[in-house]
Amino acid sequence: ILNVEQSPQSLHVQEGDSTNFTCSFPSSNFYALHWYRWETAKSPEALFVMTLNGDEKKKGRISATLNTKEGYSYLYIKGSQPEDSATYLCALIQGAQKLVFGQGTRLTINP
C-alpha cells in the first residue's frame, strides 16, 4: 500500500505571511505527483501535475517543487491571502493512473 504523508495536518498563517508544507512519498517507482486545492463547499481542483525530479511549477503566488530521489514535494504560498484558506492535498499515481491521496494540510489564513 502506497503511503503518502503530508505535514503539518493544519496550519494557521497571518495574512501577508508566506508559508509552505510538505508531501512525503516512497521514492521508488515514481510516476507523477499532483497537488490539489480543496476549498470548503467546493470540489478539489488540481494545482500542479509534476513528473520530473527537480520540477518547479508556479501559478500566481503558489509554487511547488519536487524531489523524487528523496521522496518529497513542497508547496509554497507567498503573501497569503484569505482566499488561500483551503485543504491542500497531494496525490501520487500508483499504476493504471490510480491516485492515492495524502491526508491533506488544512490552511487557515487569519486576516
Partner 1 sequence: SQTIHQWPATLVQPVGSPLSLECTVEGTSNPNLYWYRQAAGRGLQLLFYSVGIGQISSEVPQNLSASRPQDRQFILSSKKLLLSDSGFYLCAWSVRATGELFFGEGSRLTVL
Q: Compute how many other C-beta atoms are within 10 angstroms of the C-beta atom of residue 57.
A: 15
7 counts as binding partner 1 under rule CB under 8 A: no
How many helices and strands (H and E) does the chain possess?
0, 11
Nearer Cβ to partner 1, position 50 or 109? Answer: 50
Total residues in contact with partner 1, by rule CB under 8 A:
20
11 counts as binding partner 1 under rule CB under 8 A: no
Nearer Cβ to partner 1, position 19 or 35? Answer: 35
Reduce the DSSP state of residue 65 to 3 states and report it.
Answer: strand
62 counts as binding partner 1 under rule CB under 8 A: no
Contacts of 74 (CB under 8 A, 6+ apart): 20, 21, 22, 23, 64, 65
Spell out, one character per residue from 71 to 110, where the chain touches partner 1: x when CB under 8 A holds, - when not.
Answer: ------------------x-x-x--xxxxxxxxx------
Reduce the DSSP state of residue 35 to 3 states and report it.
Answer: strand
Binding residues for partner 1, rule: CB under 8 A, are 32, 34, 36, 43-46, 49, 89, 91, 93, 96-104
